[in-house]
Amino acid sequence: MDSDSDDNLVLHTLLSAAQDAISQRGETSHREKKHRKYINRDREAAHELLVRDYFAPDSLYDLSKFEDHFRISRNLFLRIASDLERNYEFFQLRWDARGKRGFTTVQKCTAALRQLGYGITADASDEYLKMSERTGRDCTYLFCEYVIELYRDIYLRHPTKSDVEQLYAAHEAKHGFPGMLGSIDCTHWEWANCPNAWRGQFTRGDHGVPTVILEAVVSNDLWFWHAFFGMAGSNNDLNVLHASPIFNDILQGKAPHMSYVVNGNEYKYGYYLGDGIYPEYATFVKSFSFPADEKRKLFKLAQESARKDVEKAFGVL
């Protein structure tokens, strides 16, 4: 056979196979659509049960149980739910084209917080909340997006001049450290679903499991003034600091000039309390590893006591 005949035969075979695949795909798709089962979930009953369990005046679970199950207080939950309902259509109670009532705000927020708090799958609360997997995923994704959009500029921002003045006054009054902005430290957050190919770089020997590092600066009222999250768990605090944007405002000239005086010397920028791993920068005040006299021992106790602010914040988080 000549080459043209061979080419024609190959083309004919490919076209036949493609047509067969298309027809089979169409039949399969038609068969799936034809036999798809609709689940008539009782959303109204699920909402009433949720209210009786947690939100009614004589609810089944008290406030302490609410915090155990939701990981936040009920007042905070209701505040977030109210803000989401007021600002975003997705979290408002709506009816579909058939006139069927949708999910309420508390149902959607509960679905999101259950997934975030326990790491469960999107359809794990279907029996309780009567919510499909797709809706559960949408609730969690949009809850995260909208909470960041609503509260980021208020609760996770750089300090203004007024904030710095209050931080100076509060830390000097409570800890005896004038010019202190807060305490800096890192914590490891376990990453249960870390891909196997990445486990080596995200696992450190003393933890034994993959972790992601959070670097934070916290003031005495547990307020996070800086958060840098995402470094692999195999790094230490010094590696994280070198990649952190904590000093960007100072380097770019955006940080407020708030001077203070210590021992007759005037300083332009505040400082952070850190542990021994941090470098000898003017912006870090560290403890003495081996205090030689009573004065240094007293300073060591005061510094370590004040630095517990960030440890307490990590515990609460």
Q: What is the pLDDT of residue 32?
A: 53
pLDDT of residue 4: 63
Mean pLDDT of 67-96: 91
Task: Assess whether pLDDT exceeds 70 at residue 26.
Answer: no
Average pLDDT over residues 87-115: 88
Residue 1 pLDDT > 60: no
Residue range 274-285: average pLDDT? Answer: 89
Window from 11-20, 29-38, 65-74 with minimum mean pLDDT: 29-38
pLDDT for position 123: 84
Within the chain, where are the H helices?
Answer: 3-34, 43-50, 63-70, 74-87, 105-118, 126-129, 133-155, 161-175, 199-202, 237-243, 248-251, 294-306, 308-316
pLDDT tier at 120, thresholds 50, 70, 90: confident
Distance from chain centroid for Cα 262: 37
Domains of the chain, residue spans: 43-153, 157-316
Pairwise pLDDT comparison (279 vs 13), residue with the higher score: 279
pLDDT of residue 160: 86
Count the Cβ atoms, other than its own, within 10 Å of residue 158.
13
Task: Round to whole Å and give the CA distance between 104 and 292.
Answer: 64
Instruction: Read off the pLDDT of each residue in 143-157 and give the average, rounded to a whole number.
Output: 89
Q: Does pLDDT of 27 surpass 70?
A: no
Q: How confident is the model at residue 122, as a pLDDT?
A: 85
Q: How confident is the model at residue 34 (pLDDT cuts 50, 70, 90)?
A: low
pLDDT number for residue 33:
55
pLDDT at 127: 84
Residues 287-310 pLDDT 10s: 888 888 899 899 999 999 999 999
Burial (CB < 10 A; 0-12, 13-18, 19+), residue 174, is middle
pTM of the model as a whole: 0.69
pLDDT in the model for residue 5: 66
Instruction: Give pLDDT tens digits for 192-238.
Output: 888 999 988 899 877 789 999 999 999 999 899 999 998 999 998 99
Distance CA 169, CA 65 (A): 37
Query: Which residues neighbour 4 within 8 Å (Cβ) at sequence distance 6 or greater?
Result: none
